């Protein structure tokens, strides 16, 4: 295995990790702050991808298309929170699992109703295409570098929001110790809606960025949803630091694993382990150290 291939896979792994991070932040925050399990999170990523495909084919400027897509996602998530999600906070986990499962089915079929069953393709503007020569022997696709950069930027914006603003402080306090929200005298409705919208936007951003790279179709976000659940468990529910480290870890383990397992275990077993590895890790973490790398003890 060449060094170049290895480095390329490391880059890919980190990039997958950053996308997972965007998903996982939403999951860990909604669970930490609102005690809400939301299986429709993957659908938000899917909607982001569909909206960028739609916007990019409607307006000429790619940048404008992204903006348009994000605004639509924001509006949609605000609507979903006000109409459905806010009734779920007080309900049992079973109810939340089922209601969000129902929502994901609705959204997954909804995009089929609007855009049909054929996968959509997003054309990249020419200025985002092509490889970048990082070293004389190693080049990497520009677009993949850009989305890694965007994800890192999003992470930094999030970090700023959460550490330097009052809203952010309230969110962090709530994520770590939900009982504090009441004590802080916060407008809970606004806080919850904001957290939900934020998590939807992050997921949709992931979808927007993935759109040009993979085929945009119904249910595309669901494998990533489940993977992000694993990330959240490994990192610790309610912990943002945990979400970051676990996401990068999972991204690397998954990507590099797919190179390694087949050569270690043979094609058949190696392929199975490649797919199942993260879930094995997830089960191990729950069994041995349920609070994850950085999480608080769950009641």
Partner 1 sequence: MTGAHVIKQSEAKNLRLTLTFCAIFILALLVPMLEQVYYTKLIARISVFAIAAVSLDLIVGFSGRVSLGHAAFFGIGVYSAGILAQFGIAQIWLVMPIAFLVAGLIGCFIGAISLRTSGLYFIFITLAFSQMIFFIAQGLRMYGGDDGFRLPAATVWFEGVDLSQAKVLAYTMLGVLLAVTYVAHRIMSSNFGQVIIASRDNSRKVNSLGLQPYPYQLTLFTLSACMCALGGVGFANLNEYVSPASISWVQSGEFLFMVILGSAGTLLGPILGAAAFVTLEQILSAWTEYWMFYLGVILMLRVLFLKTGLLGLISKQGA
The residues binding partner 1 (CB under 8 A) are 31, 37, 39, 84, 87-88, 91-95, 97-99, 101-106, 108-110, 112-113, 222, 226, 229-230, 233, 237, 268, 271-272, 275-276, 279-280, 282-283, 286-287, 290, 298
Instruction: Answer left, alpha or beta for residue 116, where phi above 0 means left and psi between -120 and 50 means alpha.
Output: left
CB nearer partner 1, residue 155 or residue 238: 238
CB of 135 to partner 1, least distance (A): 36
Q: Name the residue nearer to partner 1 (CB basis): 103 or 120.
A: 103
Residue tagged 């990523």 (tokens): 45
Written as six digits, the tokens of 127 are 């200025």
Residue 108 makes CB contacts below 8 A (sequence gap 6+) with: 43, 46, 218, 219, 222
Shortest spacing between CB 281 and partner 1, in angstroms: 9
> In whole angstroms, how close is the CB of 175 to partner 1 at the nearest point?
15
The Cα–Cα gap between 268 and 246 comes to 27
Q: Do the Cβ atoms of 265 and 273 come closer than 8 Å?
A: yes
CB of 74 to partner 1, least distance (A): 22
Q: Which is nearer to partner 1, 95 or 129 (CB)?
A: 95
139 versus 275: smaller Cβ distance to partner 1: 275
Helix 142-164 with 166-176: angle, nearest 10 deg: 90
- Per the CB < 8 A criterion, the answer to whether 128 and 143 are in contact is yes
HSE toward the beta carbon, residue 141, CA cutoff 13 A? 14
Q: Three-class SS of residue 237?
A: coil
How near is the Cβ of 164 to partner 1 at its closest, in Å? 30
> Of the two residues 110 and 125, which places its CB atom closer to partner 1 in the complex?
110
Identify whether the C-beta of residue 292 lies closer than 8 Å to the C-beta of residue 242: yes
Rounded to the nearest whole angstrom, what is the least distance from the CB of residue 219 to partner 1 in the complex?
Answer: 9
Instruction: Specify the DSSP element, H or E, that contains 7.
Output: helix 3-34
Q: Which is nearer to partner 1, 157 or 283 (CB)?
A: 283
**Residue 98 or 128 with smaller CB distance to partner 1:** 98
**Smallest separation, CB 104 to partner 1 (Å):** 7
């Amino acid at each position: 295995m060449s060094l170049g291939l290895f480095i390329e896979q490391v880059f890919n792994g980190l990039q997958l990790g950053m996308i997972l991070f965007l998903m996982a932040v939403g999951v860990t925050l909604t669970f930490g702050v609102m005690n809400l399990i939301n299986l429709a999170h993957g659908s938000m990523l899917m909607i982001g991808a569909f909206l960028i495909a739609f916007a990019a084919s409607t307006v000429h400027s790619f940048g404008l298309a992204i903006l348009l897509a994000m605004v639509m996602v924001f509006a949609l998530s605000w609507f979903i929170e006000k109409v459905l999600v806010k009734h779920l906070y007080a309900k049992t986990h079973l109810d939340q699992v089922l209601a969000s499962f129902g929502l994901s089915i609705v959204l997954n079929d909804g995009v089929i109703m609007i855009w049909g069953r054929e996968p959509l393709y997003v054309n990249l503007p020419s200025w985002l295409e092509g490889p970048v020569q990082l070293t004389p022997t190693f080049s990497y696709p520009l677009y993949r570098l850009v989305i890694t950069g965007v994800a890192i930027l999003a992470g930094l914006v999030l970090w700023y929001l959460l550490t330097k603003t009052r809203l952010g402080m309230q969110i962090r306090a709530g994520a770590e110790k939900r009982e504090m929200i009441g004590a802080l005298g916060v407008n809970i409705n606004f806080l919850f809606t904001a957290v939900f919208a934020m998590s939807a936007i992050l997921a949709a951003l992931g979808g927007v960025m993935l759109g040009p790279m993979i085929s945009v179709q119904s249910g595309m976000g669901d494998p990533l949803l489940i993977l992000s659940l694993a990330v959240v468990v490994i990192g610790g529910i309610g912990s943002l630091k945990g979400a970051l480290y676990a996401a990068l870890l999972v991204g690397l383990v998954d990507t590099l694993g797919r190179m390694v397992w087949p050569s270690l275990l043979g094609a058949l077993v190696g392929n199975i382990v490649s797919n199942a590895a993260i879930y094995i890790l997830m089960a191990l973490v729950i069994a041995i150290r349920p609070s994850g790398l950085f999480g608080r003890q769950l009641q």
